[in-house]
Amino acid sequence: QEEGEAALTEAELEQRVQIFLSETDTLWMLHLPPALVSTEAEEAPRVLERNKIYAEICEAKIGSEYFEEKMVQTISGASKTKEVQCETITMAEKGMMVTAWDLDTSLAASGTDPAETEEPKTPAGESSKSPTAEEHDQAVAVPPATASSIPIAESAAPARSHEEQECHAGAILTSAKLQQDLVVMERILMENIFQPKLAVYRQIPVLIEPVVTSDTEVEEDEEDESEEDEEKQEKAPEPDESPAEGAGPRLEQLWSYRCDLTRGHSVSSMAWNKVNPDLLAVGYREFVSQDQKKGLACCWSLKNPMWPERIFRCEHGVTAVDFSLASPNLLAVGLANGRVAIYDVRSRQDAALLDSSASLNKHKGPVWQLRWVEQDRGAPAGDKGERLMCISGDGRMTQWFIQQRLDCSDVMTIKRTESVKKKVPGERERKSEGPISQQAAGMCFDFHPEDTDVFLAGTEEGHIYCCSCSGKEQILGTYRGHKGPVYKVAWNPSSTDMFLSCSADWSILLWHRDSHTPLLTFTSVTAFVHDIKWAPKSALIFAAVNEKRVEIWDLSVSIFQPVFSYAASPEGKLSSLLFARNAECLLLGDSCGQVGVWQLHSLAVPSTDQV
């Protein structure tokens, strides 16, 4: 409503108004007059007269010297309106490749003298600045006119200094696109190199391409193969022990996880990712003449057995690693100085996501083992999830909480036990010397496969404690049988009342939960037994590694000697072992920094009735 006008009254609003709709005049946006006229039209006589005059003029010009008869194409007028468009746009792709040699040639063609300090003059409209790193990266996309002018001295860019050339080359090598392309090329090469070995690991047929050769070459190849077979038979090492010729399990090495970074370090622990069975975490540490080297935590993948996917460098040796199940991207790492760190394997950064350095309850001894443990199903709703458990050389078993920072609480403290000696008649009573520390160093632990509230803890004294995380009595039982530090304990996954333990006293003991004395003792060589693992598909088969060799024991065959033993690491000493989750393979880590992947052949799996 415009200003000054009065509003309509109610009577005017109620008044009936008549509205008439009529057709407006036609608006012509485009009018093309036709080239043809009807003979009945008014202008038809005039048009016929003009056409007659035009024909007479054309006939009169035939005899003229300025007349030349040619074939021409006249444009006839459109008889009706039609769509019109422009001519088809022609497109052409042009390009060229510019390499480092072309750039050097262009710089040399410019003929600049190092003594000249003045900037060269450039034509109007061109910039006298030297190309930046971004222009250098986009040299491949230079238009043809500009690219073709590179070798010309007059239009060449000013010569760069040697430092600038190195910076530009470094920018190309560190670009994200180049890194991605190199990863793809690396994957293709690894697949071609390790395809037969990976097929054996996956338990799928190995495809062998036929080789076409002539008759003479076939005869020569057969002679060479026969000679090589004879040499291999002479040099082939025989296993240390085997139950019978042609029978029993055997090992075949597929490949080894190793690189220049891991050389000189000892494999301390290994752990599979809970979601991705092809991702392996390995911890490395080394002690030389009481000087501790820096440690490594590497994540290896089957896609590249020659270089780790992630490398986390630590200030101290890595003693334990384990992946989380609730968050498979989290890797917990225990160090020799008592520090606990959590890394995110999705990130390429070397820094830890969480660290226990700022914790007031941090360990004061090496973290010998850590593990993510699922909470009990009967726990309250707020307590469900995972908990990170650690055992350390300071005699503490701790549970770590992941919040804004990493902090822990003690689950139990391992106390030293006094050894009771028999008194010899006539011998004087000696004063008991007090121990330096009242706490015994913890070496290993393992939670019960069914009841996550019960766990075993092995100590440096040689004792094994059966403990509970809740309740008034933490220690449910004590098992005394080893004379040296207990390196590993392992519950049987099928027969959950049985467990194994290995020690520095050269022995492996089989225990029952209700008996405080060992049921069986396994000893084959005089060497420290560093690690033991039950076979995932059998309750009667387990593997063990000592400093000299790997042993496979089958309790259904013999309890006196292993069914197979082999020196898998002639160069170093074996330190750890791990069964593959999705393959019939065994992983062996040694003191040289390599993790060998070995295929298990002819490993008998007992029936469930024998358990």
480 located within any domain: yes
Residue 502 sits in a domain of what CATH number?
A: 2.130.10.10
Q: Which residues contact 413 (CB under 8 A, 6 or more apart)?
A: 395, 396, 397, 439
- Mean pLDDT over 215-223 rounds to 63
Give the pLDDT band (50/70/90) at residue 120: very low
pLDDT at residue 579 tops 90: yes
Q: What is the model's pLDDT at position 447?
A: 92
pLDDT at residue 332 tops 50: yes
Q: What is the model's pLDDT at position 212?
A: 60
13 located within any domain: no
pLDDT > 70 fraction of the chain, expressed in percent and rounded: 74
Q: What is the model's pLDDT at position 602?
A: 76
Q: What is the pLDDT of residues 514-526, one digit of tens each?
A: 888 999 999 888 8
215 located within any domain: no
8-state DSSP, 198? H
Q: Per-residue b/e over 535-551, b at no fewer than 16 CB within 10 Å?
A: beebbbbbbbbbbbbbb
Give the pLDDT band (50/70/90) at residue 604: low
Dihedrals phi, psi of 371, to nearest 5 degrees: -160, 140
Q: Which residues contact 192 (CB under 8 A, 6 or more apart)?
A: none
Range ranked top by mean pLDDT from 34-38, 68-72, 203-207, 418-422: 34-38
- Report yes or no: 303 and 289 within 8 Å, Cβ to Cβ: no
- Report yes or no: 227 and 577 within 8 Å, Cβ to Cβ: no
Helical segments of 203-282, H only: 215-235
pLDDT at residue 238 tops 60: no
Q: Which residues contact 389 (CB under 8 A, 6 or more apart)?
A: 370, 371, 372, 373, 397, 398, 399, 400, 411, 445, 447, 455
pLDDT at residue 150 tops 50: no
Compare 288 and 544 and report the one with higher pLDDT.
544
Q: What is the model's pLDDT at position 384?
A: 53
Helical segments of 94-174, H only: 100-109, 133-137, 144-147, 162-173
Structural domain total, the chain:
1
Compare 527 and 234 and report the one with higher pLDDT.
527
Compute the CA torsion angle 24, 30, 35, 38 (nearest 10 deg). -10
Q: What is the pLDDT of residues 531-568, one digit of tens each?
A: 999 998 888 899 999 888 999 999 888 889 999 888 88
Compare 126 and 445 and report the one with higher pLDDT.
445
Q: What is the pLDDT of residues 443-494, one digit of tens each?
A: 999 999 888 888 999 999 899 999 888 765 678 889 998 999 999 999 998 8
- Mean pLDDT over 597-611 rounds to 69
Mean pLDDT of the residues in the chain: 78
- Mean pLDDT over 295-315 rounds to 92
Dihedrals phi, psi of 55, to nearest 5 degrees: -65, -40
pLDDT at residue 222 tops 80: no
CA distance 598 to 230: 25
Within 13 Å and on the Cβ side, how many CA atoms surround 92?
4
495 located within any domain: yes
256 located within any domain: yes
43 located within any domain: no
Q: Which residues constitute the domain of residue 570?
A: 250-417+437-601
Query: Count H helices, E strands: the chain?
Result: 8, 30
Q: What is the model's pLDDT at position 276?
A: 92
Give the pLDDT band (50/70/90) at residue 425: low
130 located within any domain: no
pLDDT at residue 326 tops 50: yes
Q: Per-residue b/e over 381-400, b at no fewer than 16 CB within 10 Å?
A: eeeeebbbbbbbbbbbbbeb
465 located within any domain: yes
Q: What is the pLDDT of residues 154-186, one digit of tens each?
A: 444 445 566 676 777 778 888 888 888 888 898
Element housing 56 (H / E): helix 44-60
Q: What is the model's pLDDT at position 225?
A: 67
CA distance 196 to 206: 6
> Would you state the structure tokens that stand for residue 239, as one six-digit string?
């296993």
pLDDT at residue 279 tops 90: yes
pLDDT at residue 419 tops 80: no
Instruction: Give Cα separations from 207 to 196, 199, 200 (angstroms).
Output: 8, 9, 11
Q: Which residues contact 242 (CB under 8 A, 6 or more apart)?
A: 248, 563, 564
- Mean pLDDT over 503-511 rounds to 92
CA distance 377 to 385: 9
Element housing 407 (H / E): strand 406-413
